[in-house]
A = this chain, B = another copy of it.
């Protein structure tokens, strides 16, 4: 597998564009990604009880397992907008479908931004022909920029992998920020591939890759009203069709997992106001669920995150967060390492190591590692520190 240039238009016969349609003042706020031919399609959506209108429409459109275009606006989430919101999302899909001579059910819709404000679908409809005229391979960067909200930089990647002697490509763009502690900040990710793959295999690989990537930066149930991941597979790579459970399937999953993990880490790194990227690994747990619960509890502790911002190796806050996850473990077996230095061993703190750890915390990347010594399961979670800038961004949003 190798990393290649570009993102969603790196696979064969995908095009993209991003423009300003007037929802935001001057920044790009409308993106379109299309496959030249109808593609297999799968999606993963928020589990939030409050679902945005585009989520409801796209879930419906995905039932066929087929789509050809993804239209995304930023600046307005089209959520808590009642019946009008549903109509507006549908109008958006119809506008794209009409201009592309395809069925509205082949258009997927996503939105991100302010909740509870009616979406001006008219602005989107008026911009669709301009958007389509600008579709190109190079347009992927504009598309990646048009889906940003408080993100500081566009997030994009593409990889190539050999399957059955043919080069298969996977590309993706994502947005998400404010992932610091639980949080409702919307995460959007749009993936494309030219792999020839069964629908069942596509759906399953997407589910698994999201579980180990985007769900490792967002606590279960803490998803926003708009969280969405789509994948389009136009099957043009000429590889032997990938079937679920085969060796080729494994190769595809690994490559897709690489793409989603990369994008998930980019989101954590770009957390609002973040000054440090933090990886939390929990090892030696009885099962993966236990490991994941402890890792997420630590990742979501404001006290741990502020200690990291202050470059203070406050091991007590890490241990307290680990213990608060609702998972039983023996304190006398607990090991905790920070950036490679074992500072808790068998439940006892080695206080002399503090100055060394304190120096390591000055770096931009921190790794917290916990070993429970009570099993073989492990889990990784990514997050960032909690800074005064986070509060500034989130108290003065809007």
Contacts and interface: CB of A to CB of B under 8 A. Distances in A.
Interface stretch (A19-27, A34-42, A388-396): A388-396
Interface in A224-278: 224-225
A325 B222 CA distance: 7
A342 B326 CA distance: 37
B331 A50 contact: yes
A49 B392 CA distance: 35
Contacts of A310: 394-397
Given A80-B348, A181-B302, A323 B396 contact: no
A222 to B, nearest CB: 5
A324 B394 contact: no
A388 B303 CA distance: 14
Interface size class of A (residues with CB under 8 A): 35 or more
Interface stretch (A2-10, A60-68, A109-117): A109-117
A273 B328 CA distance: 32
Interface stretch (A127-135, A141-149, A206-214, A312-320): A312-320
A391 B387 contact: yes
A122 to B, nearest CB: 18
A181 B324 CA distance: 13
Contact of A301 (B182, B326, B391): B182
Contact of A319 (B80, B178, B181): B80
A309 interface: yes
A387 B307 CA distance: 16
B324 A116 contact: no
A184 B301 contact: yes
B49 A322 contact: yes
Interface in A164-208: 178, 180-185
A395 B312 CA distance: 7
Chain A binding surface SS class:
loop
A222 B77 contact: no
Copies of this chain assembled into the complex: 2
Given A221-B324, A222-B324, A325-B221, A116 B319 contact: yes
A387 B395 CA distance: 8
A327 interface: yes
A329 B51 CA distance: 11
A98 interface: no
Contact of A324 (B48, B309, B326, B351): B48
Contacts of A297: 182
Contacts of A79: 316, 319-320
B116 A184 contact: no
Nearest to A312: B398
A391 B395 contact: no
A95 interface: no
Nearest to A334: B50
B225 A114 contact: no
B391 A115 contact: no
Given A310-B397, A324-B221, A395-B310, A115 B300 contact: no
A284 interface: no
Given A82-B346, A314-B398, A390-B391, 14 more contacts: A47-B326, A48-B323, A49-B322, A49-B324, A49-B325, A49-B329, A80-B319, A181-B181, A182-B300, A221-B325, A225-B320, A302-B390, A387-B391, A391-B391
18 contacts: A48-B323, A49-B325, A80-B348, A81-B348, A115-B314, A116-B316, A116-B319, A182-B297, A182-B324, A183-B301, A184-B303, A184-B324, A221-B325, A223-B324, A225-B319, A225-B323, A306-B394, A388-B388
